[in-house]
């Protein structure tokens, strides 16, 4: 349906401009002051319009463990996560809705869901997730989280000669499932895409990585994986491949301009050059990196090397929410502590570009979304600048990115459809979602994980920590 947003503030390369924007069908048709109105009129006065952000890495079903897991490094945190899995397809659907709602209400219009699968119900997990995303109307890429090694294999051995139990699915079984998921669900023209997304080198065989590359080439899909999130993974890569994990991924041909890599905390300068050369995208998940003590990703170095950087929230069990504005704020400011040269620091306007166009580039959609340009899809977010949390009035984007905005999103459009209006999703009943999330859960204290106990001593040995 055509519509015109009148007298709205937009960001330009040099500052701000007040314009009218006319959307025809699913795309931006005109941007200019005082356009002839057509279709529905939207009053843009005292509002800011930005391109939608891409929540470029998350795991939707982790919403069920929000705030639950104690402070642990990734490897032990994972053992806790695995001991409280989501086993219910209704929950999968609800957490997809919840993840989408939080993303939309914090400026995102697209989510990259590295989706944890229910064993034995893999296709159904993807289906339930997509049902949620289609219902609320968000653009979504789903990368079913596949692997073929048991959890212990993700920790370096360091001469302990541990016996790692075989995993219940082989590379071939994973790839058969993935191909079925692609054929059944990959509908990019409808805003739902499948990615090939092996968990990471820590839990995946060569055969699985190569099969993913082959499928992504055959179906023209994006690739996604976790990369060097922790110091332990850096060690593991050397143990496994005799080189860095980036050199390994480059050697097998996984890196490309449609490859996005979550975390990238422990890369050296040569690794960074490889990412730049292959035009791969780094997805920075600052909140998760802090919570799990993974480290501070060298984001300023990435930018200086010309590596594209996007922002993600990561799963809610490690972040512990899906607020894109929070992830962007911390992912912007955090790096100021890593470089005294303040001229390298990221300012709020650059952060917006990273979160929108950087995110779009990472999913090979920079020609279609990520900026306000005539011809691009109307994935738009309208912010209410009269909200108390954005006052007093100063620099609108400074307020939005550096501040603590609270319920500032007025409207969201994806593909020209208004899926949030007056701060509420239009297609789902958010009050019912709230009640459902309440009903399907209860207050529990700290988790006691037998898997943690099993793995902790070895983890401490590998990380050079004193015996327990």
Residues 4-43 that bind a copy of itself (CB under 8 A): 9, 15-16
* Candidate residues 252, 339, 426, 428; the one interacting with a copy of itself per rule CB under 8 A: 339
* DSSP helix, strand, coil percent of the chain (3-state; round to 5): 40, 20, 40
* Axis crossing angle, helix 74-82 with helix 450-462, rounded to the nearest 10: 170
Q: How far apart are CA 461 and CA 467, in angstroms?
A: 7
- Cβ-based nearer residue to a copy of itself, 63 or 178: 63
> 146 forms bridges with which residues in the sheet?
198
Site for a copy of itself in 345-364 (CB under 8 A): 345-348
Stretch that binds a copy of itself, among 171-179, 255-263, 294-302, 375-383 (CB under 8 A): 294-302
Binding mask 103-142 for a copy of itself (x = CB under 8 A): ----------------------------------------
By the rule CB under 8 A, 263 interacts with a copy of itself: no
Answer positive or negative: Cα dihedral of 41, 412, 193, 251: positive
By the rule CB under 8 A, 448 interacts with a copy of itself: no
Cis peptide before 392 (omega within 30 of 0): yes
Q: Residue 234: is it exposed, middle or buried by C-beta count within 10 angstroms (0-12/13-18/19+)?
A: buried
- Cβ-based nearer residue to a copy of itself, 189 or 340: 340
Residue 370 C-beta: closest distance to a copy of itself, Å: 23
* Candidate residues 287, 378, 414, 455; the one interacting with a copy of itself per rule CB under 8 A: 287
Residue 319 C-beta: closest distance to a copy of itself, Å: 8
Site for a copy of itself in 89-108 (CB under 8 A): 98, 102
By the rule CB under 8 A, 430 interacts with a copy of itself: yes
Binding mask 144-183 for a copy of itself (x = CB under 8 A): ----------------------------------------
The two counts, helices (H) then strands (E), for the chain are 16, 17
- Cβ-based nearer residue to a copy of itself, 123 or 290: 290
DSSP secondary structure letters along 16-73:
EEEEEEEEETTEEEEEETTPPP-SEEEE-TTEEEEEPEEEEEE-GGGGGGTTTS-S--
Stretch that binds a copy of itself, among 52-60, 175-183, 283-291, 415-423 (CB under 8 A): 283-291
**Is the distance from CB of 202 to CB of 234 less than 8 angstroms?**
no
Stretch that binds a copy of itself, among 25-33, 193-201, 204-212, 316-324 (CB under 8 A): 316-324
Chain centroid, CA 455 distance in Å: 28
Answer positive or negative: Cα dihedral of 454, 458, 464, 468: positive
Binding mask 52-91 for a copy of itself (x = CB under 8 A): -----------xxxxxxxxxxx--x---------------
* Candidate residues 305, 330, 421, 428; the one interacting with a copy of itself per rule CB under 8 A: 330
Q: HSE (CB half, 13 Å, CA atoms) of 300?
A: 17
Site for a copy of itself in 364-393 (CB under 8 A): 385-386, 388-393
DSSP secondary structure letters along 277-314:
HHT-EEEE-HHHHHHTT-----HHHHHHTT-EEEE---
The three-state secondary structure class of 115 is strand
Site for a copy of itself in 399-428 (CB under 8 A): 399-404, 406-407
Q: Rounded to the nearest 5°, which phi and psi values hold at 52?
A: -65, 145
Q: How far apart are CA 441 and CA 61, in angstroms?
A: 13
* Candidate residues 29, 37, 276, 333; the one interacting with a copy of itself per rule CB under 8 A: 333
**Is the distance from CB of 196 to CB of 143 less than 8 angstroms?**
yes
Site for a copy of itself in 222-261 (CB under 8 A): 231
Residue 54 C-beta: closest distance to a copy of itself, Å: 18
* Candidate residues 334, 355, 356, 357; the one interacting with a copy of itself per rule CB under 8 A: 334
* Candidate residues 163, 242, 375, 444; the one interacting with a copy of itself per rule CB under 8 A: 444
- Cβ-based nearer residue to a copy of itself, 66 or 376: 66
């Amino acid at each position: 349906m055509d519509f015109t947003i009148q007298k709205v503030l937009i960001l330009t390369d040099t500052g701000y401009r007040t314009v009218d924007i006319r959307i025809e069908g699913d795309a931006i048709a005109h941007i200019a002051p005082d356009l002839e109105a057509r279709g529905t009129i939207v009053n843009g006065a005292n509002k800011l319009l930005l391109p939608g952000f891409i929540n470029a890495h998350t795991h939707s079903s982790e919403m069920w463990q929000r705030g639950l897991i104690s402070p642990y490094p990734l490897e032990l945190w994972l053992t806790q996560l695995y001991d409280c899995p989501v086993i219910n397809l209704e929950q999968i659907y609800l957490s997809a809705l919840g993840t989408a709602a939080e993303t939309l209400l914090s400026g995102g219009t697209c989510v990259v869901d590295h989706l944890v699968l229910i064993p034995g119900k893999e296709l159904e997990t993807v289906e339930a997730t997509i049902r949620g995303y289609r219902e609320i109307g968000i653009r979504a890429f789903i990368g079913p989280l596949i692997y073929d090694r048991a959890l212990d294999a993700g920790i370096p051995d360091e001469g302990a000669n541990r016996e790692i139990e075989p995993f219940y699915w082989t590379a071939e079984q994973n790839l058969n499932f993935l191909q079925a998921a692609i054929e059944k669900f990959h509908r990019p023209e409808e805003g739902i895409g499948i990615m090939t997304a092996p968990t990471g080198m820590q839990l995946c065989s060569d055969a699985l990585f190569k099969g993913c590359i082959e499928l992504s080439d055959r179906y023209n899909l994006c690739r996604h994986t976790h990369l060097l999130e922790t110091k332990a993974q850096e060690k593991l890569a050397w143990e496994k491949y005799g080189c860095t994990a980036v050199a390994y991924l480059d050697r097998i041909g996984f890196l490309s301009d449609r490859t996005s890599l979550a975390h990238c905390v422990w890369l050296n300068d040569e690794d960074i050059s490889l990412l730049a050369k292959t035009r791969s995208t780094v997805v920075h998940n600052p909140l998760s990196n802090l919570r799990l003590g993974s480290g501070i990703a060298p984001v300023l170095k990435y930018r200086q090397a010309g590596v594209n950087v996007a922002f993600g929230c990561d799963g809610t069990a490690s972040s512990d929410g899906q607020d894109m504005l929070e992830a962007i704020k911390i992912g912007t400011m955090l790096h100021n502590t890593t470089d005294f040269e303040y001229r390298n620091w990221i300012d709020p306007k650059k952060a917006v570009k990273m979160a929108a166009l950087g995110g779009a580039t990472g999913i090979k959609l920079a020609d279609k979304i990520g900026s306000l340009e005539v011809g691009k899809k109307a994935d738009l977010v309208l912010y209410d600048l009269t909200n108390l949390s954005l006052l007093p009035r100063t620099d609108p984007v400074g307020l939005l990115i550096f501040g603590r905005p609270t319920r500032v999103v007025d409207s969201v459009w994806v593909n020209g459809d208004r899926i949030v209006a007056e701060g509420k999703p239009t297609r789902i009943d958010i009050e019912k979602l709230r009640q459902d999330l309440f009903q399907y859960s209860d207050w529990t204290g700290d988790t006691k994980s037998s898997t943690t106990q099993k793995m902790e001593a070895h983890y401490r040995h590998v990380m050079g920590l004193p015996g327990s």
